[in-house]
């Protein structure tokens, strides 16, 4: 299974390590900046690094030739439909919420601000609308009383995301397809960036 991995920071680098341990062929990583942690990990492993000119969009030429699956792991860039068309199975991403709840860049913050007693994570199909594609895998956890967004991310949601990505990529390798359950738009909420 040939993968183009779009991502950044700790979670992108952790997903990179996980996929390599799984035996996936990571053909290229796509990063917002040349000095990103994921870029450094890929470069040290001798894997091609594509630095985005526009950090908000992944263009079609960012996707390695022959890609079977695009994996998005902490990428704030929308993968264009032209980019998705270059991948045999399209793309998946991890979102730290129980989609369709808290669609947007600040999902974990909004989980805490909303006083949600339960949080969760979703691996979903990348689509034209941000965080709106079909669900491939989902799980949940309780939110501890007084827990911050960062604490919730580090304790539960980041490890959950790695586990769910692992499950979905393994499924794709074994079956040549991705699970897909449409999101229920009736329950969709937004999680826009919170201004300080």
Alpha carbon 91 to chain centroid distance? 9
pLDDT band at 128 (very low <50, low <70, confident <90, very high): confident
- Delimit the domains of the chain by residue range: 2-96+122-140+156-182
Instruction: Assess whether the previous peptide bond of 7 is cis (omega < 30° from 0).
Output: no
pLDDT band at 133 (very low <50, low <70, confident <90, very high): very high
**Average pLDDT of every residue of the chain:** 97
pLDDT band at 114 (very low <50, low <70, confident <90, very high): very high
What pLDDT was estimated at residue 120? 98
Residues 139-156 have pLDDT tens digits of 999 999 999 999 999 999
Give how far Cα 53 sits from Cα of 57, 92, 118, 124, Å: 9, 22, 37, 25
Residue 188 is classified by DSSP as: -
Residue 103 is classified by DSSP as: B
The CATH number assigned to the domain with range 2-96+122-140+156-182 reads: 3.40.50.170
d(CA 148, CA 153): 9
Element (H, E) at 124: strand 118-125
């Amino acid at each position: 299974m040939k993968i183009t991995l779009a991502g950044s920071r700790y979670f992108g680098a952790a997903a990179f390590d996980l996929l390599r341990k799984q035996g996936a062929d990571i053909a290229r990583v796509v990063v917002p900046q040349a000095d990103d942690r994921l870029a450094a990990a890929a470069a040290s492993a001798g894997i091609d690094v594509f630095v985005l000119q526009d950090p908000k969009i992944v263009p079609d030429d960012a996707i390695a030739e022959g890609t079977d699956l695009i994996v998005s792991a902490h990428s704030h860039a929308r993968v264009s439909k032209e980019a998705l068309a270059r991948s045999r199975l399209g793309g998946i991403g991890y979102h730290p919420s129980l989609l369709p709840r808290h669609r947007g860049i600040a999902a974990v913050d909004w989980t805490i601000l909303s006083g949600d007693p339960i949080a969760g994570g979703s691996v979903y199909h990348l689509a034209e609308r941000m965080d709106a594609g079909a669900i491939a895998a989902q799980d949940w956890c309780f939110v501890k009383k007084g827990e911050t967004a960062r604490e919730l991310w580090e304790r539960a949601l980041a490890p959950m995301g790695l586990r769910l990505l692992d499950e979905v990529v393994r499924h794709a390798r074994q079956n040549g397809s991705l699970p897909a359950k449409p999101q229920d738009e009736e329950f969709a909420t937004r999680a826009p960036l919170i201004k300080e």
